[in-house]
Structure 1
């Protein structure tokens, strides 16, 4: 278990009673001081600036673009992936998403981010052909 009883005021204390989650690039929990600003990001899918679905049939590309769209919302609020407190990934194909998950982990690692993350298999998403959607909570 990785924990510190007295972290620095702005520090994040990773809470991991086990270690299997490290391979997936996230912490089971994180303890931090309450943020001064909290951003809730609606589900972001693999769409362009006009809301047109891109990469139908390519789960890996959809995962990457969905995360990039999350980053766009974060940037508009003066934040980045290091400010993400929690991610939820919705997918219509869990196996394909897990196969492509390395791209998500790699992008998060560029910001030393390991937010608690949930992967949910769903029957359908907002647009026909959409296989991935990501929502986030961020704070600073």
Structure 2
């Protein structure tokens, strides 16, 4: 098992296959004094308009940007995320577009435990990606 300590977080990865997706299989962190829960974020602009109906990579990038915006408004960033869940309607398309998410994680050196889940549909017709998160400090 490889455990790398990053500040006070112990990263737990008994295998290495997940590292290309830039997430840890588990993390042991001290109890946070604040927890931020982020509701599912999609490819929605500031006016509430759904964007990028036929572009899974663009939807993933905007959904992730919306998550990051809420984290910042809570005084946190992706390094504070303790759980990331990505819901998609097409697993193959999502895996092909996953670089849009990994790019944001790499920029901060964040490796939150993450789950990628295929669902039959999301709330808005044409929405292919929705991301929720839990963060703590």
| TM-score normalized by the length of structure 2 | 0.96
1:11 aligns with 2:11: no
- Whichever structure has more strand as a proportion of its residues is 2
Q: Measure the CA separation in 1 of the matches of 2:108 and 2:32.
A: 18
Report the counterpart of residue 38 of structure 1 in structure 2.
35
SS at match of 1:97: helix
1:18-57 alignment to 2 at 5 Å? 18-57=15-54
Q: Measure the CA separation in 2 of the matches of 1:3 and 1:78.
A: 27
1:92-125, Cα deviation, whole Å (9 max, x unpaired): 0111110011121111011110000000000000
Report the counterpart of residue 2 of structure 2 in structure 1.
2
Report the counterpart of residue 95 of structure 2 in structure 1.
98
1:57-96 alignment to 2 at 5 Å? 57-96=54-93
Q: Measure the CA separation in 2 of the matches of 1:41 and 1:75.
A: 11
Structure 2 residue ranges without an equivalent (≥5): none
What root-mean-square deviation, in Å, do the aligned CA atoms of Structure 1 and Structure 2 show? Answer: 1.3
Q: Measure the CA separation in 1 of the matches of 2:11 and 2:103.
A: 19
Report the counterpart of residue 128 of structure 2 in structure 1.
131
SS at match of 1:3: strand
Deviation at 1:3, TM superposition (A): 2.3
